[in-house]
Amino acid sequence: MNIPKKVVLCEVGPRDGLQNETSILSVEEIVSLIDSITESGFKVIEVGSFMHPKSVPQMVGTDEVFKRINKKEGVEYRALIANMKGVERAASCGCRKVKLNVSASRAHNLANLNKTPEESVAGFKETVIVAAYEGIDISGSISMPFGSPWEHIIPMDDVKKIARTYIDAGITEISLSDASGMAVPNQVYNICTEMKNEFPDVKWILHFHNTRGLGIANILAGMQAGITWFDTSFAGLGGCPFIPGAAGNVSTEDVLHMLDEMGVETGINLDGVIRTSKMLLEALNHPADSYILKAGKSRDLVPDAPVIMQYDR
Ligand code: ZN
């Protein structure tokens, strides 16, 4: 199987997971959560968002969380923003990486913002300039490039146009986010292969929600296309307020367990992640959407068994 030897998992649970919870965790709880996932070895953590508190009350403490977390050298702590205001808030609380988002669905973007996706992205240019001035790195996300509840199929040319507009605005790290959970593996493989060929200088990140149980299959398809950056969420937390029945991101433990057993390096300690996720679920008081939290690692059945390393054989 042709897959990368190493991948980077970006833990997005503190933002994408917690923003969909009915109970709002305190700043202290979120800080200790982020400190413990830092200890598990994640190199990228999405800490929260700088949105209007009325639209996302769960993320109201993000500024304070950034001030209090133990930032480890070499770890990227990022936040989602909607506009320039987000960069200003990031700058004043020590956040050095922000992420913008646009919907690949024309119908969705026009209905919400009265702009095409390209007009939205072109409007980010000033935000990118201010971020650069503040020394803050910036990335862009394209949501629903694999399918939307409005159009169903998003033409690949539309996704390319949005990517090109991001690049013109000065953003070269782009994530493809299947918020609607409509992606399937051969489509993921084809789109990733084509986007990589067309935009070889872009750093691509994949973000899959597990709405129809295909998150982990889609990650594997992305790996086969040579993608090495993936978002996951502890305990599979998350959802999407405007997508009916949307599930969370594919669970961090499930993806990490698969990668560990396949001998793909991540630098992340699965036992640490399992401990954190279990503590988190106790605080949230509901069951997990994560196979490993329910069944345990296959390794626990035969602790001394060797890892099946495709690279070492
Ligand atoms: Zn998401």
Distance in angstroms (rounded) separating the CA atoms of residues 91 and 197:
35
Note whether 222 and 199 are within 8 A (CB): no
Distance in angstroms (rounded) separating the CA atoms of residues 101 and 175:
9
Residue 200 alpha carbon to ligand 1 centre in Å = 24
Beta bridge partners of 22: none
Residue 163 alpha carbon to ligand 1 centre in Å = 18
Number of separate helices (H) and strands (E) present in the chain: 12, 8
Beta bridge partners of 215: none
Residues of the chain with pLDDT under 70: 240-244, 308-313
Distance in angstroms (rounded) separating the CA atoms of residues 240 and 181:
10
**Residue 313, pLDDT score:** 38
Q: What is the CATH number of domain 8-300?
A: 3.20.20.70
Model pTM? 0.95
Which tokens is 107 given? 């119908």
First and final C-alpha spacing in the chain: 13
Domain layout of the chain by residue ranges:
8-300
Written as one letter, the residue type at 26 is: S
Reduced to 3 states (helix: H, G, I; strand: E, B; else coil), residue 113 is: helix
Distance in angstroms (rounded) separating the CA atoms of residues 116 and 102:
10
Give the dihedral of Cα atoms 243, 245, 246, 247; nearest 10 deg. 170
| 135-193 tens-digit pLDDT | 999 999 999 999 999 999 999 999 999 999 999 999 999 999 999 999 999 999 999 99
Written as one letter, the residue type at 294 is: K
Note whether 231 and 10 are within 8 A (CB): yes
What secondary structure letter does DSSP report for 134?
Answer: H
Residue 250 alpha carbon to ligand 1 centre in Å = 10
Of residues 237, 186, 236, 181, the one with CA closest to residue 208: 181
Distance in angstroms (rounded) separating the CA atoms of residues 261 and 238:
25
**Residue 287, pLDDT score:** 83
Residue 196 alpha carbon to ligand 1 centre in Å = 22
Q: Return the active site residues.
A: 240
Residue 259 alpha carbon to ligand 1 centre in Å = 21
Residue 177 alpha carbon to ligand 1 centre in Å = 6
Phi first, then psi: what are they for 246, rounded to 5°? -60, 135
**Residue 309, pLDDT score:** 60
**Residue 311, pLDDT score:** 55
Query: What protein residues have CB closer than 5 angstroms to ion ligand 1?
Result: 16
Residues 6+ apart with CB under 8 A from 83: 127
Handedness of CA 116, 238, 8, 264 (dihedral sign): negative
**Residue 241, pLDDT score:** 63
**Residue 113, pLDDT score:** 84
Of residues 289, 277, 216, 188, the one with CA closest to residue 248: 289
- Tell me how far the alpha carbon of residue 22 is from its chain's centroid: 20
**Residue 52, pLDDT score:** 87
Instruction: Give the Å distances, CA to CA, from 137 to 44, 70, 98, 140.
Output: 13, 20, 6, 11
